[in-house]
Amino acid sequence: MKFLFDFFPILLFFIAYKAYDIYVATAVAIIAAFIQVGWFWLQHRRFEKMHVITLLLITLLGGATLMLQDPDFIKWKPTIVNWLFGVVFIGSQFIGKKTIIQRMMESSVELPAAIWIKLNLAWAIFFIFLGFLNLYVAFSGHYDMDAWVNFKMFGMIGLTFIFIIGQAFFIGRYIKEPEDENTPENAKEKP
> Would you kindly state where each structural domain of the chain is located, as residue ranges?
1-70, 75-176
Exposed/middle/buried for residue 30 (C-beta within 10 Å: 0-12, 13-18, 19+):
buried
Are 17 and 71 in contact by the 8 Å Cβ rule? The answer is no
Per residue in 13-48, pLDDT (tens digit) is: 999 999 999 999 999 999 999 999 999 999 999 988
Q: How far is CA 162 from CA 167, 168, 187, in A?
A: 9, 10, 42
3 pLDDT band, cuts 50/70/90, is low
Per residue in 112-138, pLDDT (tens digit) is: 889 999 999 999 999 999 999 999 999
Q: Given a cut of 90, is residue 8 above it in pLDDT? A: no
